[in-house]
Amino acid sequence: MAQASTDQASTDQIWAWLDEVPDPEIPVISVVDLGIVRGVEWEGDTLTIAVTPTYSGCPATSMIAMDIETALHAQGIARVAIKTQITPPWTSDWLSPKGRAKLESYDIAPPRAAGGPERCPRCQSTAVERISQFGSTPCKAQWRCTDCLEPFDYFKCI
């Protein structure tokens, strides 16, 4: 591996820039908070970004790669290589605490291992029921609060 030259952005700076790239399906959360950016490495004058899709058939994978490249080009990085890394597979455990909080503020219940949302993201009631295992995207399910009667998305635990 080649050493980064002194005029290359630091990996910390690159992570900060990537933290500004929104997920195209859930724009309130960044690709970093989603946990899909797995590595940042200079290889000579090329910046390689390792990305793990949330699942192998994710329709947003190419859009995410394009958005990452566009954001880094805007910061003056001329050569960007996106490497799709499928092992280990993405898990909802990789969501950052900040990302989980952002999901809830966007009225999407964050994933949890106990099999469903802990509470309604709108009114915070624990009286919730599943409407459908299928939601607006493959990684979400539809739930409803039986107190405020509002439906909401639940980010599935994967």
- What span, in angstroms and rounded, lies between the C-alpha atoms of 13 and 67? 17
Radius of gyration of the chain (CA): 18
Look up residue 37 and give its DSSP letter.
Answer: E
Structure confidence at residue 137 (pLDDT): 82
Structure confidence at residue 57 (pLDDT): 81
Structure confidence at residue 58 (pLDDT): 83
Looking at the chain, how many residues does it have? 158
Structure confidence at residue 56 (pLDDT): 80
Q: What is the pTM of this model?
A: 0.86
Structure confidence at residue 5 (pLDDT): 44
19: amino acid identity, one letter: D
Structure confidence at residue 74 (pLDDT): 97
Structure confidence at residue 55 (pLDDT): 85
- What span, in angstroms and rounded, lies between the C-alpha atoms of 126 and 145? 8
Domain range list for the chain = 11-84, 107-155
What is the pLDDT tens value at each position of the chain, 158 positions in all? 444 444 799 999 999 999 999 999 899 999 999 999 999 999 999 999 999 999 888 888 999 999 999 999 999 999 999 999 999 999 999 999 999 999 999 999 999 887 899 999 999 999 999 999 998 888 899 999 999 999 999 999 88
Query: Do strands 79-84 and 46-51 pair parallel, antiparallel, or not at all (unpaired)?
Result: parallel
Residue 43 pairs in a beta bridge with 46
* Short-list 20, 39, 42, CA closest to 31: 20
Fold of 11-84: GMP Synthetase; Chain A, domain 3 (3.30.300)
